[in-house]
Amino acid sequence: MQNFLVEPSRPALKTEISVPGDKSISHRAVMLGSIADGLSVIHHFLPGEDCLATINAMRDMGVSIEGPFDNNEVRVHGVGKYGLKNPQSILQLGNSGTSMRLLAGLLAGHGVTAILEGDESLMSRPMKRVIDPLIYMGAQISCHEDGCAPILIQRPKQRLSGLQFQSEVPSAQVKSAILLAGLYADGETSVTEPILTRDHTERMLTSFGYPIIREENTTRLMGGGRLTGTEIYVPGDISSAAFFLVGAAMTPGVELLIKEVGVNPARMGILSILWEMGAHITVENMRMFNNEPIADLRVQGAQLKGITIPTAQIPLAIDEFPAIFIAAASASGVTTLRGAKELRLKESDRIMAMATGLTTLGIAAEPLDDGIVIHGGNVKGGKVDSFGDHRIAMAFAIAGFISSEPILIENCQAVATSFPGFVEIAKQTGLDMSIEDK
């Protein structure tokens, strides 16, 4: 077990950092590169455990993948749309829900037989929301009777049929799984969402030369096309940047520049919420790589204020709420979140984990069935449990910028799944923290 010990910290007054590559984009680049024709070169790939699980799964199905090299480059020798082979053993996906749900869609119409498993956390997460629409398309796919993994995928009895899917719950992973299955289906497949979610799959398919039609909250594609190998640059992950955005935003007198961060419109919830809380963040040097917008983010610390978080921002910031809850702890007044029950279904129950930890640190935090109420105040010290959730661990680490006493965070080993090098970059920003192996 690995713990973080964070001392009350004085942030660096003026700092420039970069964060690792975007996890969502890294996953998709490897998957689509694997079924493309020819070579794909991925730059700034995230070498975290989740993304390595995707690489290992594609290798197990016969794809030659070189790297990640020291410069985080990965070279994928695509086998073509129907070139994957039956894996010789169960595909072990660790803690990666993205790998499991997207591979379920990708493999559903391909013709391979595979079993998808993961660690204890992943095996407890809901998979029926992906499996049910795939079955409706004609996939031979099943999971445990409790709706969780393992997932068994077999060769379909016939080619999949296109599906016009109306999503009741905003989920980029469900959308992506259906669209990936649609690559192998007869006719048109479309997904209509109640609220637009992250669209990395759609943008990535376009980069690989696959035509996509997008109309407001509906995405359409025709089955039968092929993908062509390409060169991909992965921007910095805004979910990783979020911890340092919050750390700087809630600390008056600090200025932080985070270089080359992905600012996909469907991932901008963290900025919108912090802006409403009074944060001083500017988006600079906007440009496009592989259909993804990238920018530098400049943060100047200020006193934040509590707000009622708009429900429209929830799917645009679903992974960043642990960090946002720390901002709320530092803010003057009350911050309220409702309509975010999805947070209870992540790597941990993030509503419970954050409410419990904040209470330990002296902050009044009331968990709700679908959200939380946080009264800003003075953060003290204490021992908190991250419940093995990487984002919970990193969120409580940045609380060291506003704590009056040391914070011991337990079960932090999962941070490597999403943010290798977190501790080193945190120290660059002035966070006084160390790792304790138990």
Residue type, 195: I
d(CA 381, CA 8): 9
Q: What count of other Cβ atoms lies within 10 Å of the Cβ of residue 40?
A: 25
Q: Own/partner pairs for 146-151, CB < 8 Å, 24+ apart? A: 148/123, 148/124, 149/100, 149/116, 149/117, 149/118, 149/122, 149/123, 149/125, 150/90, 150/115, 150/116, 150/117, 150/123, 151/100, 151/104, 151/115, 151/116, 151/127
* Buried/exposed 246-263: b ≥16 CB within 10 Å, e otherwise: bbbbbbeebbbbbbbbbb
| 3-state DSSP assignment of residue 244 | helix
Residue type, 15: T
Query: 111 to each of 101, 104, 155, 160, 242, how far by Cα in Å?
Result: 17, 12, 4, 10, 40
Closest C-alpha among 396, 402, 405 to residue 330: 402
Active-site annotation holds for 60: no
Q: What count of other Cβ atoms lies within 10 Å of the Cβ of residue 344?
A: 16
d(CA 191, CA 59): 30
Catalytic residue among 50, 60, 296, 319: 319
Burial of 96 (0-12, 13-18, 19+ CB in 10 A): buried
| 3-state DSSP assignment of residue 393 | helix
Q: What is the DSSP string of 57-70?
A: HHHHTT-EEE---T
d(CA 389, CA 120): 12
Could you tell me whether strands 382-385 and 37-43 are parallel, antiparallel, or unpaired per DSSP bridges? unpaired
Residues 232 and 205 sit within 8 Å (Cβ to Cβ): no
Order the strands of the 407-410 sheet from edge to edge.
382-385, 407-410, 2-6, 433-437
Closest C-alpha among 230, 312, 304 to residue 269: 312
As annotated, the active-site residues are: 319
